[in-house]
Amino acid sequence: MGRSAAFFDLDKTVIAKSSALAFGRPFYRDGLITRRDVVKSAYAQLMFRLGGTDEQTMARTRDYLAALCKGWPVDQVRQIVAETLHELINPYVYAEAAALIEEHQAAGRDVVLVSASGEEMVRPIGELLGVADVIATRMSVVDGRYSGEVEFYAAGPSKVDAVGELARERGYDLDQSYAYSDSVSDRPLLECVGHPSAVNPDRALRKLAAENGWPVLEFRHPVPLGRRLRERPAVPVAAAAIGVGVGVAIGIAWYGRHRRARATTA
């Protein structure tokens, strides 16, 4: 029997919001995106999540992501993420997810974050959680700027390809490994391990979990890291129940407030 690992999707599984949309405000503030881009990005993510692993939907989302980021200085993106990580992400980490990650680590399993968001966002979030290994979308870089090409899009079956490659490198026994996700788009990821769980599942994933007898977990308590350390043990992971909706409304709601504020002051 080989080593085992635990693979965690990020958005709505480990954190209570979209990691990509979370940085929309500082990206807008620093001139990387326009107000229209905020709404379009939210819509693109919604279409991806509703479209699941549909090949055409994934291709459109990937191409939109590449076009949006083209020309951005990589160092500027990393600086924005580093400066705003504790404000925008830390308060939204589910206590239940943090406790579960610690349980797997205490059992000697490697923990891997697997997310369609960019590696520049996912890796610092992993460091915040004490997770060194990430599988995330990688953009091509030329002369310090994103070229508009995607080297690797960590979505759908591509996640499984990356998980399989990592398992071969490290000798993971996937039949003894675990995976957690909230979205039916991660069906291939959940089906490639012996111990899949649906976390805050969308309707399609909830149905799939019921058909396959997979555990369904409800994570409901985002707690900042400092508070978790002071108040351990965290909220019990066994607080398991049923789903929650897609989080793209965060970006749309922010855009609406911003637009109304401009109209009032005009």
Task: Give just the sign of the alpha carbon dihedral 48, 183, 103, 219.
Answer: positive
Crossing angle of helices 74-88 and 119-129, in 10° steps, is 40
Q: Of the listed 9, 110, 186, 202, which one is catalytic?
A: 9
The DSSP 8-state label assigned to residue 36 in this structure reads H
User: Element (H or E) spanning 264, and its range?
Assistant: helix 249-265
Cα-based distances in Å from 258 to 25, 204, 250? 10, 33, 12
37 catalytically annotated? no
Task: Determine the length of the chain.
Answer: 266
Whole-angstrom Cα distance, residue 54 to residue 66? 19
Whole-angstrom Cα distance, residue 60 to residue 137? 15
110 catalytically annotated? no
| Cβ-defined contacts of 75-78 (< 8 Å, 24+) | 75/144, 76/30, 76/32, 77/27, 77/32, 77/118, 77/120, 78/120
Catalytic residues: 9, 11
